[in-house]
Amino acid sequence: MNFETLALPAVFVVYIAAVLLLISSDWRLSIAVLALQYAGIVILVGLSWPLEKAVVKMLAGWMAGAVLGLALISLPGGGRTEDRLQLSSVLFRLLGAALVGFVAFYWGPTIIAWMPKVALEQAYGGMVLIALGLFHLGLTSQPLRVCLGLLTVLGGFEILYAAVESSALVTGLLASVSLGLALVGAYLLTVPTQEEAQ
C-alpha cells in the first residue's frame, strides 16, 4: 500500500494526539487518543516497511491501550486516578507543546542528514513524538501518565528506527517492549488498591 499521500496528514495526527495526551485528564479519552496515535505511527512506519509488518505496531499499541484500560476499569471508583487540570496548567502545557513541536520540526531535517534513509515526514513525526513524550514525562509522576509518555517516546523511536532496520525480530522486540510497558503501568495502577485490600 502506498502511504506517501497519507504521510503528512499522519504527522499532524500524531502531533495532535500527543498534545491531547498531554492535556487530557480523562483516562478514556487518553486511551482513545493513544489508539489514534498508533494509527498515525503505522502510516509513518509504512513508508519504510510493508503493510503486514507496520500493522504489528498498531496492534501492539492497541493491545497496550487495552491493558491499561482494563487495569483502570478494575480500580474502585471506575478508574478515576487524577483530578482535572486547571486552566493555567492546560495553557502552560499547550504553550510548551507548541514550543516543543517547533523545535522538533526545526530539527527534523537534521535527522535526515544523520539518517539518510529516513523520509522527511518520518523525521518530523518521530521527533515530535519523542520530544512531546519527554515533555509529558517531565510534567507528571502518575503511573498512567508516565506510561503514556513512555509509549509516546517509544512510538517516535519506532518511526525513526523503522527506516534503519526492517527485521522481523526487531518488530517483535519493539512490540513486546510496548506491551511490557503497558503491563508495568497496569501493575503500578493496581498496586495501591491491592495494598489497601490487605
Give tens-digit pLDDT for 136-159: 999 988 999 999 999 999 999 999
What residues contact 173, with CB distance under 8 A and at least 6 apart? none
Grid cell, residue 181, equals: 510497558
pLDDT at 177: 95
Please state which of the ranges 85-94, 101-110, 187-196 shows the lowest mean pLDDT.
187-196
Mean pLDDT of the chain: 90
d(CA 179, CA 65): 9
The answer on pLDDT for 13 being more than 60 is yes
Burial grade of 115 (CB within 10 A; 0-12, 13-18, 19 or more)? middle
pLDDT at 198 over 80: no
36-52 mean pLDDT: 93
pLDDT at 165: 86
Of 74-78, 91-95, 110-114, highest mean pLDDT: 91-95
Cβ contacts of residue 163 below 8 Å, gap of 6+? 47, 48, 115, 117, 118, 119, 122
41 and 57 in contact (C-beta within 8 Å)? yes
- Provide mean pLDDT across the span 150-169: 92
Report the pLDDT value the prediction gives residue 116, as an integer from 0 to 100.
85
Q: Which set of grid coordinates corresponds to residue 17?
A: 494526539
pLDDT at 3: 81
Q: Residue 84's Cα: distance from chain center in Å?
A: 21
Across 36-40, average pLDDT: 96
Over range 160-168, report the average pLDDT.
88
Q: What is the pLDDT of residue 78?
A: 64
Q: Is 80 exceeded by the pLDDT of residue 196? A: no
Rounded CA separation 114/143 (Å): 34
Query: In this structure, what are the phi and psi dihedrals at residue 77, rounded to the nearest 5 degrees?
Result: 85, 15
pLDDT over 70 percentage in the chain: 93
